[in-house]
Amino acid sequence: MKSLMSYAVVVIAGVFLQPLIAPTVIPETTAYEPTVIYAGPSDSFQQLGKLNPGLPINITERNHTGMWVHIVRKADDKIVQDGWVISAYLNRDNTIQFGDIPINTTVGDADPTAVNSKSMATLYSVPVIPTISDAMVEVYQHGQELGNLSNAITKVGDSLSENVQYLMPMSNPERRLGPYEYLADTVNFYGSSVATASVAARLGMSTYGVVDPFWADKKLCQPRETPLDCEYRLKKPSVAFIMFGPNDVRSMTEDKYAAQMRQIIEDTLAHGTIPVISTFSTHPDEEYFWQSINFNLQLVSLAQEYQIPLINLWAAARVLPEYGLDRDKVHLKVSGFAYLKYDTGHEAFYGVVLHNLLSICTLDDIRHKLGIEVQK
| Average pLDDT value for the chain | 92
Residue 85 has pLDDT above 70, yes or no: yes
Give the mean model confidence (pLDDT) for residues 56-69: 95
Q: Is 31 helix (H, G, I), strand (E, B) or coil?
A: strand
CB 87 within 8 A of CB 67: yes
Domains of the chain: residue spans and CATH: 4-108 (2.30.30.40), 113-370 (3.40.50.1110)
The confidence band for 16, taking pLDDT boundaries of 50, 70 and 90, is very low
Give the mean model confidence (pLDDT) for residues 118-143: 97
The pLDDT value recorded for residue 25 is 55
The confidence band for 94, taking pLDDT boundaries of 50, 70 and 90, is confident
CB 213 within 8 A of CB 183: no
* Close Cβ partners of 62 (under 8 Å, ≥ 6 residues apart): 68, 69, 70, 87, 98, 101, 102, 103, 104
Give the mean model confidence (pLDDT) for residues 275-284: 97
Q: What is the DSSP string of 48-109?
A: EEEEPTT--BEEEEE-SSSSEEEEEEEETTEEEEEEEEEGGGB---TT--GGGSPBP-SS-S
The pLDDT value recorded for residue 52 is 97
Which among 71, 59, 243 is positioned nearest to 155, based on CA atoms?
243
Residue 168 has pLDDT above 90, yes or no: yes
Give the mean model confidence (pLDDT) for residues 274-294: 96
- Report the alpha-carbon distance of residue 25 to residue 60 in Å, rounded: 6
User: 345 versus 15: which is more confidently predicted?
Assistant: 345
Helices (H), the chain: 118-124, 134-146, 159-162, 184-190, 227-235, 254-270, 289-306, 313-316, 351-370
Question: Out of 18-32, 264-278, 290-304, which region has the weakest mean confidence (pLDDT)?
Answer: 18-32
Residue 49 has pLDDT above 60, yes or no: yes
Quickly count: other Cβ atoms within 10 Å of residue 77's Cβ.
6
Strand order through the sheet with 58-62 = 47-51, 35-38, 78-86, 68-75, 58-62
Give the mean model confidence (pLDDT) for residues 342-347: 95
CB 325 within 8 A of CB 331: yes
User: What DSSP character marks residue 206?
Assistant: -
